[in-house]
Structure 1
């Protein structure tokens, strides 16, 4: 069984949108969240979808899922106080309904990361089957550094080996739930993403390469980049042009 867990629990403060969270902003009349979910809805290997949502927007979510004929969403779950807690809530709903968590693959994905592809989902599933985990990454285009408390540069990563962790981040359900349960026991609740949590508890993480187009829509400029890439993809289908996937 393959399940997608879509995280749509953010409030979108950096988008400067006072009317609605960023995942419900629209492009060409369709919410960003639906642009994202449709990739999993239409993928033949994905059996079901869970969506973690802001509690006050759950009724709106149900309405738009019905409007766009999304049929694979089996769970709608309230988000928590942190991203980590929200993901745990979603995983827990899936786990409680799952008969074979050691055989179930879960793809954890941001609701505001709509520039993915059918092939990327296929690759994530295949890598989990082969290795037990799949972290989507893209090559770093610029130099990656770390800084200390005084703002001085410390580590400078080898750009040829540096990668930017993105999503989906995919695992067997039993493994990712085990890590979350350990984090709760250890009172660890601020891990930035699932890859960081799994790495912390010693799980080997295998990678899936994606293009730099796989952006997360966090700020207004991200939205305009999304619109430009989306329209370029649409034009490529109309005029038979080549665009990066």
Structure 2
């Protein structure tokens, strides 16, 4: 079975002075998180969608799902963890508790604030997660990236042709993801930036799936303005 985890635990500090986390801000006529969940909800290959979010926002998230999507057993909202990866693991624990999990089960993890994921990206994550234990959605780096250890002077300039910008979804073998995560030390867990890094730290391969420039993450105020423009002009 294919499962999904829509990660909605962020508080959106970088969005500025807002009264709610960024995933609950309106994009067009619907909250950002609803746009995102809908992309997964209509895919009949996905058995269950788990939405880990802050405990204070569980009821509100459920209310939004009922309002915009309707009553459904396909989506469940749970209390997330203190970090991104803790939230993923809580989703994994929920699935293990409620389903008979084996080596064939996959979990597709996605940012709640990436509402423009395309059908093609989602389908390729489903396809290649059946072949590879870990997949990451990326786009080629278009700008030159500089490396600086002190933030004042350049240490090196890596070859841009070998650099990619990470997006989501990231898709994994559910059982192997949990196994590798539990093998990490507390110090290793603290340095994780995303779930794909769990596999990298354990020497496992991560397959690359082509993302898209419009698969943006809404982080700052100008991102929300851009997202509304994309929605208005129907650029998807």
* TM bin (shorter chain): over 0.9
Comparing 185-194 and 109-118, the one that deviates more: 185-194
1:225 Cα deviation after fit: 1.2
Q: In the comparison of the two structures, how many residue pairs are matched?
A: 235
Please name the residue that 1:236 is paired with: none
> Contact 1:22–1:218 (CA<8 Å) still a contact in 2?
yes
Structure 1 alignment gaps of length 5 or more: 234-242
* TM-score, normalisation: structure 2: 0.93
In structure 2, how many angstroms separate the alpha carbons of the residues matched to 1:47 and 1:39?
14
1:117 Cα deviation after fit: 0.8
1:87 Cα deviation after fit: 1.9
In structure 2, how many angstroms separate the alpha carbons of the residues matched to 1:95 and 1:53?
19
- 5 Å matches for 1:18-97? 18-69=18-69, 71=72, 73-97=74-98
Q: 1:90 to 1:197 in 2, by over 3 A?
A: same
1:67 Cα deviation after fit: 1.0
In structure 2, how many angstroms separate the alpha carbons of the residues matched to 1:20 and 1:85?
22
1:9 Cα deviation after fit: 0.2
1:180 Cα deviation after fit: 1.8
In structure 2, how many angstroms separate the alpha carbons of the residues matched to 1:152 and 1:105?
43
- 5 Å matches for 1:1-245? 1-69=1-69, 71=72, 73-149=74-150, 151-183=152-184, 188-233=189-234, 243=235
In structure 1, how many angstroms separate the alpha carbons of the residues matched to 2:98 and 2:90?
13
In structure 1, how many angstroms separate the alpha carbons of the residues matched to 2:146 and 2:96?
38
Q: Which runs of 4+ in 1 moved over 4 A?
A: 184-187
* TM-score, normalisation: structure 1: 0.90
> Contact 1:82–1:190 (CA<8 Å) still a contact in 2?
no
Q: 1:4 to 1:150 in 2, by over 3 A?
A: closer
Comparing 15-24 and 143-152, the one that deviates more: 143-152
1:220 Cα deviation after fit: 0.4
